[in-house]
């Protein structure tokens, strides 16, 4: 594991953007695994800047996102499709048809989950997976459990996750209680993994996940077994 501690969110974002753009430069038709949430927003801004100055070209890149709320369609302002369009895809020269987010409004959610894993395989797997980490150690929406779930699946969100995400909704009651998430198999089979975390509040979980025992009660701890993991942490 390559654990990088930096001083500011700005620096974290710059480093993460450099790693992601480096991946695209090395393999212009790569598959990026992307995340939503507040952690990657700064990196996405920097990626857009680099793309706009011609430093990096996303025209042949494909992306697969980690997760989506069940019941929200892509037009809903809190859906992860909407987030990705507005925080990244609209600002770079990626072909929107090459960007994939699970369909939270699929009539058959089980079938959607299976199809998502088939899609990842068809794309040739993920070259670089970007992750944030939840206060309870979740990655994607893989919540603490007694085992690691391999495949893309539907989850019921923990109350701490609903609480944390309620800051984006009008009220806690508006936060969907279920989501579709890529499983640990999809995440762990990515060739490279980059996890970013910032803020004093994330310090304990970062310590547990990367310097504590590997256990499904701290889902991110499985990443210690990944052969090419970079973690960037900023306390501020």
Q: Which residues are catalytic?
A: 67, 136, 138, 143
Backbone angles phi, psi at 133, to 5 degrees: -140, 135
Question: Does 67 engage in binding with ligand F6R (CB under 6 A)?
Answer: yes
Contact 123, 64 (CB under 8 A): yes
Position among 24, 32, 33, 39 found at the interface with ligand F6R (CB under 6 A): 39
Question: Does 102 engage in binding with ligand F6R (CB under 6 A)?
Answer: no
Contact 197, 132 (CB under 8 A): yes
58 or 132: CB nearest ligand F6R? 132
The set of long-range contacts for 5-9, using a CB threshold of 8 Å and a minimum separation of 24, is 5/233, 5/234, 5/235, 6/232, 6/233, 6/234, 7/234, 7/235, 7/236, 8/234, 8/236, 9/42, 9/198, 9/234, 9/236
User: What does the alpha-carbon distance between residue 69 and residue 18 come to, in Å, rounded to a whole number?
Assistant: 29
Contact 33, 190 (CB under 8 A): yes
**Which residue of the chain is nearest ligand F6R when measured via CB?**
132
Smallest distance from ligand F6R to CB 155, Å? 11
- Interface of this chain with ligand F6R, residues 104 to 143, rule: CB under 6 A: 132-134, 138-140
**Which pair of tokens denotes residue 187?**
């995440």
Smallest distance from ligand F6R to CB 225, Å? 19
43 or 52: CB nearest ligand F6R? 43
Determine the interface stretch with ligand F6R among 16-24, 37-45, 113-121, 186-194 (rule: CB under 6 A): 37-45
Position among 37, 102, 104, 137 found at the interface with ligand F6R (CB under 6 A): 37
- List interacting residues with ligand F6R (CB under 6 A): 35-39, 66-67, 132-134, 138-140
């Amino acid at each position: 594991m390559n654990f990088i501690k930096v001083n500011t969110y700005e620096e974290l974002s710059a480093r993460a953007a450099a790693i992601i753009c480096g991946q695209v430069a090395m393999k212009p038709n790569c598959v990026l695994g992307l995340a939503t949430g507040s952690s990657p927003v700064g990196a996405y801004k920097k990626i857009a800047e680099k793309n706009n100055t011609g430093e990096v070209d996303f025209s042949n890149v494909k992306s697969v996102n980690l997760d989506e709320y069940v019941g929200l369609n892509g037009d809903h302002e809190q859906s992860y499709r909407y987030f990705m369009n507005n925080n990244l895809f609209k600002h770079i020269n990626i072909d929107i048809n090459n960007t994939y987010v699970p369909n939270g409004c699929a009539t058959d959610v089980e079938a959607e989950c299976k199809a998502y894993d088939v899609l990842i395989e068809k794309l040739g797997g993920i070259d670089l997976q970007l992750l944030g980490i939840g206060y309870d150690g979740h990655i994607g929406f893989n919540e603490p459990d007694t085992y690691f779930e391999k495949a893309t699946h539907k989850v019921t969100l923990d109350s701490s996750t609903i609480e944390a995400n309620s800051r984006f909704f009008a009220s806690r009651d508006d936060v969907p209680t279920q989501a579709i998430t890529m499983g640990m198999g999809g995440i762990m089979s990515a060739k490279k993994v980059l996890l970013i975390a910032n803020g004093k509040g994330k310090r304990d979980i970062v310590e547990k996940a990367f310097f504590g025992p590997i256990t499904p009660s701290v889902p991110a701890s499985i990443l210690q077994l990944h052969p090419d993991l970079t973690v960037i942490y900023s306390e501020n």
